[in-house]
Amino acid sequence: MTTVQERPAGEVGAARKRKEDARLITGRTMWTENITLPGMLHLAILRSPMAHARITRVDTSAALREPGVVTAFSGRDVADTQGSLPCAWPVTEDMVHPDHPPLAVDEVRHVGEAVAVVVARDRASAVDALAVIEVDYEPLPVVLDMEDALAEDARLVHADKGTNKAYTWVFDSGEAGTGQGVDAAFAGAEVVIKRRYIQQRLIPAFMEPRSVVVDPTGDQHTIWSATQIPHILRVMVALVTGTPEHKVRVVAPDVGGGFGGKLQVTAEELIAFMAAQRVGKPVKYTESRSDSLVSAHHGRDQIQDVELAARRDGTVLGLRVNLLANMGAYLGIVTPGVPLLGAFMYNAIYKFPAYRFVCTGVFTNTTTTDAYRGAGRPEATYAIERLMDELAVELDMDPVEVRRRNWIKHDEFPFDTVAGLTYDSGNYEAATDKALELFGYEALRAEQASRRESGDPVQLGIGVSTYTEMCGLAPSRVLGALRYAAGGWETASIRVLPTGKVEVVTGTSPHGQGHETAWSQIVADRLGVPFEDVEVLHGDTRTSHKGLDTYGSRSLAVGGIALVNACTKVIEKARPVAAHLLECDVSDLEFADGAFRVRGAPSDAAGKTIADCAFAVFAAHDMPDGVEPTIDADATYDPGNFSFPHGTHLCATEVDAETGRVTIRSYVAVDDVGRVINPSIVEGQVHGGVAQGIAQALFEEAVYDGEGNLLTGTFIDYTPPSAADLPDIVSDRTETPAPDHPLGAKGVGEAGTIASTPAVINAIVDALRPYGVSDIRMPATPERVWQALRGGARS
């Protein structure tokens, strides 16, 4: 175990206000939609109203005659050149990987699929002209349900593939040598809990709709896009379109949220690219909210058949997971891999020795699914945390006690898990104790007992959820072993300007996370420069040449290490310069409090700062022999392991037994994300994440009708909650440093989303137990709760 460096007193750990917020909150910044270029044209997209149909005819000629229209074309017009949207994660060798044309050619396979486009001088003319494009559809049978799709004589989403099964991926601890075989574990079990949980389909619902501008007029084709992944997009555009990579520049300007929903190489980006090339002028496309809800990728949508084996003393012996994962109609950039990110997390914080996971990816005539905040890990955590509660009930044990009996103790780290990972560090005891105390667990249990006793029509429920997650995606060798096409390293560059100001270029691509602030805090401490003197640049392949962008709670956990390493290199490059200026030997110098001084000199003795060295190399009049006149440095870091934050969330719900209305009365989140760079950013991430997890538990679901029409195609129907629907969140922390990170930091981007959904559902089910209810479908709408109460009462 490596030791963690002491936290420097200073910026790191301070609740700095975020530098980027003034411009983000006022909107006075460059969003993609704000970009206007000389001669720019506007694109509108005609989308399929059918979930599955053959396209027998598309006629765009009438659109060409509409005022302002410059060009119009359909998939057939570009069939030979448009290429196929990429999937970078073929999880098995024999995975079925259908073509995914940006514009549908002969067949549409979900409502909302792009069919034809119009490019016009203004946006309204482009939209108007869509109305006169004629498309003849010949309906084909629709398959929506995953189990139907896997049936013998199923209707096929991709007829030429002969199956709706994309892949089956298996992990077995017995076979992998990471634990025992599950069959033996189940054979020896005293208790077996078997359940089916449904992870409903969700829509990421980022605030800024997707938008793209393509300018084909320069030496480089420039793509501005509201994306999380400008670097990956550049590589993919080059590969898909055949444009040489050095002729493509991608810029992610300020981006208004993503939650995984903008971790995609989208049809719209490639369509805009094609359109711009066709007309030789800049082209802009910004989706409407209605377009976004039906065409941007969705998340979750899994059926989880899970089985837990245990002894009557509460010791868990093994877990079987049989998963169906809805791919939607096509495979997005990491669609097949999302459930696999969960595969490593079903064992959660527990020590049980046997585990088997089987996942089958299934095609249906629905919008493609892909990463959504947590990506696989919320689903896994939900299943195991629901099962632990069921086990507690079965054994008549407190749900916290059942967890305590199974979790890894703080002195057992690093811990090799049954799923084959090595958990770096953690202290589940401390986080749980703190959460119980803040929550007032005992008092609430007492109140619950008395309300049950009195038959109160409003029942109290208490939900427990513990979690860990793998952050810091990802060690490249692990990704390689999982057949992912890219690596998981990250880069940082530091340029110290002649006046001592610092430019930091990061390969991460923030879209609301606050990297500019956190990175400035880190650099300020490391180089001894003021926070305000650091400028963080990102998201433009012209300034940030390399990077793997932002998702999977990786930016600080991986990119932060690259940043610290780059700082260290700057100091090392400045050292001979400072020694020369101070006329001493390099080995006599130490760097502290922002300056090089002769070792042993008092801290107020004159020294040479990084700024002094930067000016010296700029002038370069008097450099030591053989020393390069620069102190700028780059670093690229590939993590050796993931990082594993954890926490305990507790939720108290009040359930109105008459109406089924669930109200969250109190919510406590104690998270351990290692050392914290900026507590208010961490708190913001936790609050937002908890809100999104509560949204899955109580409010949101993408619903299709029998023909594959999205019924929740507006926010009015999709019902994302607002602040008025959410509780006050008490959030606190314990700090167990990450041993592999020089700052001790882990990731925090997804924690809240992962922990909160099972906390809320466990609380609802706990409230309903006296009525004989042992499960509730998500989202637990008032009507579902009411139905469960009626069903429970009947049984």
Partner 1 sequence: MIPAAFEYTKPSTVDEAVRALAEGGEDARVLAGGQSLIPMLRLRMAAPTLLVDLGGLGELRGVRDDGDALVIGAMTRYADLLRDPLVRDHAPLLAQATATVADRQVRHLGTIGGSLAEADPAGDLPSVAVALDVSFEVVGPGGWRTISAADFFVDFLTTALGDGEMLGALRVPKQDGWGTHYEKFSRVAQAWSIVGVAVAVRRENGTIAEARVGLTSMGNRPLRARAVEEALAGAPATAEAVSSAAARAAEGADPPTDVWASAEYRSHLATVLTRRAVVAAGGIHAS
Contact 105, 55 (CB under 8 A): yes
Interacting residue with partner 1 among 15, 22, 79, 124 (CB under 8 A): 124
Residue closer to partner 1 (CB basis): 454 or 587: 454
Please name the residues in contact with 456: beta carbons below 8 A apart, sequence gap of 6 or more.
none
Q: Pick the binder of partner 1 from 159, 443, 606, 724 (CB under 8 A).
A: 724
Q: 137-146 as b/e, with b when 16 or more CB fall inside 10 Å?
A: beebebbbbb
Q: Report the half-sphere exposure of 455 (CA within 13 A, side-chain side).
A: 0
For partner 1, give the closer residue by CB, 257 or 721. Answer: 721
Q: Is residue 659 a contact point for partner 1 (CB under 8 A)?
A: yes
CB 214 within 8 A of CB 283: yes
Residue 716 binds to partner 1 (criterion: CB under 8 A):
yes
Query: Of these, 76, 97, 123, 278, which contacts partner 1 (CB under 8 A)?
Result: 123
If one asks whether residue 661 binds partner 1 (CB under 8 A), the answer comes out as yes
Instruction: Tell me whether residue 70 or residue 529 sits nearer to partner 1 (CB atom).
Output: 70
Which one of 3, 26, 587, 722 is in contact with partner 1 (CB under 8 A)?
722
The residue within the footprint of partner 1, chosen from 127, 192, 482, 730 (CB under 8 A), is 127
Q: Give the whole-angstrom CA distance, residue 557 versus residue 366.
A: 35
Q: For residue 498, which phi and psi values (nearest 5 degrees)?
A: -55, -30
Closer to partner 1 by CB, 123 or 545: give it.
123
How many angstroms separate the CA atoms of 83 and 242, rounded? 9
**Does residue 513 belong to the site contacting partner 1 (CB under 8 A)?**
no
Among 246, 313, 783, 793, binds partner 1 (CB under 8 A): 783
Give min distance, CB of 709 to partner 1, in A: 11
Question: To the nearest whole angstrom, how small is the minimum distance from the Cβ of residue 781 to partner 1?
Answer: 7
DSSP string, 161-208: GT-SEEEEEEEEHHHHTSSB-HHHHHHT-SEEEEEEEEEEEE----SS
Interaction of residue 771 with partner 1, rule CB under 8 A? no
Q: Is residue 735 close enough to count as binding partner 1 by CB under 8 A?
A: no
Asked if residue 159 binds partner 1 (CB under 8 A), the reply is no
Of 205 and 676, which CB lies nearer to partner 1 in the complex structure? Answer: 205
Distance of closest approach, residue 30 Cβ to partner 1, in angstroms: 23
Two tokens at 481? 């072993």
Footprint of partner 1 on residues 343-372 (CB under 8 A)?
Answer: none
* CA-based R_g, the chain, Å: 28
Q: Does 712 bind partner 1 (CB under 8 A)?
A: yes
Give the nearest distance from C-beta 290 to partner 1 in angstroms.
Answer: 6
Among 49, 68, 679, 720, binds partner 1 (CB under 8 A): 720
Closer to partner 1 by Cβ: residue 292 or 553: 292
**Minimum CB–partner distance for residue 786 and partner 1 (Å):** 6
| CA–CA gap between residue 310 and residue 296 (Å, rounded) | 42
Q: Give 127 or 586: the residue with its C-beta nearer to partner 1.
A: 127
Total residues binding partner 1 (CB under 8 A):
26
Give the nearer residue to partner 1 in terms of CB position, either 609 or 781: 781
Task: Rule CB under 8 A: say whether 663 interacts with partner 1.
Answer: no
Among 128, 215, 370, 672, binds partner 1 (CB under 8 A): 128
The residues, any chain, with a CB within 8 Å of residue 218's CB and separated by 6 or more, are: none
> Of the candidates 123, 96, 8, 113, which has an alpha carbon nearest to the alpha carbon of residue 53?
113
Tokens describing residue 337 = 């891999």
Select 522 or 764, whichever has its Cβ closest to partner 1.
Answer: 764
User: Which of 710, 584, 629 lies closest to 51, judged by CA?
Assistant: 710
531, 618, 771, 786: which one binds partner 1 (CB under 8 A): 786
Q: Is 734 left (phi over 0), alpha (psi -120 to 50) or beta?
A: beta
Q: Determine which residue in the list 84, 220, 241, 290 makes contact with partner 1, applying CB under 8 A.
A: 290
Does 474 sit behind a cis peptide bond, omega within 30 degrees of 0 on the bond before it? yes
Site for partner 1 in 682-711 (CB under 8 A): 699, 703, 711
User: In the bound complex, what is the minimum distance in angstroms from residue 721's beta carbon to partner 1?
Assistant: 5
Q: For partner 1, which is the closer residue by CB, 65 or 247?
A: 65
Torsions phi, psi of 9, nearest 5? -70, 135
Q: 394 phi and psi, to 5 degrees?
A: -60, -35
CA distances to 5, 462, 501, 521, 675 from 8, rounded to whole Å, are 8, 40, 21, 11, 12
How is residue 331 written in tokens?
């495979």
Report the interface residues with partner 1, using CB under 8 A.
Answer: 123-124, 127-128, 288, 290, 658-659, 661, 699, 703, 711-712, 716-717, 719-722, 724-725, 781-783, 786-787
